[in-house]
Amino acid sequence: MIEIRNVKKVFGPLTVINGINLDVKKGELLCLIGASGSGKSTLLQCINGLEPIQGGEIIVDGVSVHDPKTNINHLRRKLGIVFQQYNAFPHLTAIENVALAPRVVLKKSRSEARKLAQKHLEHVGLGDKANSLPSQLSGGQQQRLAIARALAMEPAYMLFDEVTSALDPELVGEVLETMRLLKREGMTMVVVTHDINFVRESADRVAFLHQGEVCEIGTAEEVIDNPRKEQTQKFLRRERRPAISNQTSAA
């Protein structure tokens, strides 16, 4: 499991994470919601050891992420991470993209890595796109490719940072479906999202972050449908406002 104990993270004078305590249990899907700047992405990057922390501790399967004695590259293999922006290598085909880390990091043979890559492409519904370049894939397919790349390291945990928010609305569903599939298979997941419907349908628990703190945590029924804190209620009212506000901010 992932244990987050009183974690503090600052960027210069700015406190971004202010004493967060959270547990992510095996097989659980925990959603993180909160306004822009509330610290969601930073928290994922701290879990993954991409960002140092200034207080507290994050423990993954009993290993302290920020302990200098920890082999962070080894630990990171347990933690797949997928971002909003697809980050595939443009000159490599889908299967080459997925096979790369198993070959380089896990030292698998070329044929073993390709076999593993094909398996994970099929897993995310891209079995027939193995030889396509990323530019020949739709946005939704590219995000599923990014998920396949993370899965090819056979992680114990998957961290998702707004993986659907750059997609055209008609492509969102296929990516969410892939995440639901992983959940059904028992993957432990931390999902940063603005998609309240996804939270409602899929999250075991949801944490609302406000100014670097966990303001409210519970089931979707508790936090989304019956929020107790005023900040949560305010945030949800804003999120639920029809797409007009999103369109204006995008324009």
Q: How far is the CB of 20 from ligand ATP (least distance, A)?
A: 12
Q: How far is the CB of 167 from ligand ATP (least distance, A)?
A: 15
Q: How far is the CB of 161 from Mg ion (least distance, A)?
A: 6
Contact residues for Mg ion, defined by CB under 5 A:
41
Nearer to ligand ATP by Cβ, of 121 and 207: the residue is 207
Q: If we measure between CA atoms, which residue out of 149, 146, 184, 150 comes closest to residue 163?
A: 146
Hey, what are 153's tokens? 């390291």
The binder of 37, among Mg ion, ligand ATP, none, by C-beta within 5 to 8 A per type, is ligand ATP
Nearer to ligand ATP by Cβ, of 11 and 89: the residue is 11
Contact residues for ligand ATP, defined by CB under 6 A:
11, 14, 16, 34, 36-42
The binder of 89, among Mg ion, ligand ATP, none, by C-beta within 5 to 8 A per type, is none
Nearer to ligand ATP by Cβ, of 18 and 138: the residue is 18
Q: How far is the CB of 41 from ligand ATP (least distance, A)?
A: 3
Nearer to Mg ion by Cβ, of 32 and 153: the residue is 32
The binder of 38, among Mg ion, ligand ATP, none, by C-beta within 5 to 8 A per type, is ligand ATP
Nearer to ligand ATP by Cβ, of 38 and 142: the residue is 38
The binder of 141, among ligand ATP, Mg ion, none, by C-beta within 5 to 8 A per type, is none
Q: What angle do CA 36, 37, 42 make, to 5 degrees?
A: 115
Closest residue to bound Mg ion by CB: 41
